[in-house]
Amino acid sequence: MLLPVESKQIAFCSYDEDKAELQLYFHTGEVVAYHSVLKSDYLSVVESTNRLDALMRLTQKGHVPFGTEAYLPTVGEMT
């Protein structure tokens, strides 16, 4: 499920529970993933009134991003 992020840079985020991976979908089409993200951390983003701030706090916790363009479809192909 794509979760809207009301931001000029980030369009959506999503979470893969099997991989414990947070994906950020940028308006530019770039997709960046953060691995080893706890589900409880992602749920804090879902429940936040300011998802961008919650994402920034989460991504600054030491998670190292890696590009996922090779295996994730583009935002336009998501259903």
**Structural domain boundaries, residue 56:** 3-71
Does residue 78 lie in a domain region?
no
Which two structure tokens, joined as six digits, stand for 38? 């706890």
pTM for the model stands at 0.73
Is residue 28 a contact partner of residue 74, using CB atoms and an 8 Å limit? no
Q: How much is the mean pLDDT over the chain?
A: 81
Tens of pLDDT, residues 61-73: 765 555 544 444 5
Helical ranges in 1-79 per DSSP H: 39-47, 51-59
Burial (CB count <10 Å: 0-12, 13-18, 19+), residue 75:
middle
Does residue 35 lie in a domain region?
yes
Number of structural domains found in the chain: 1
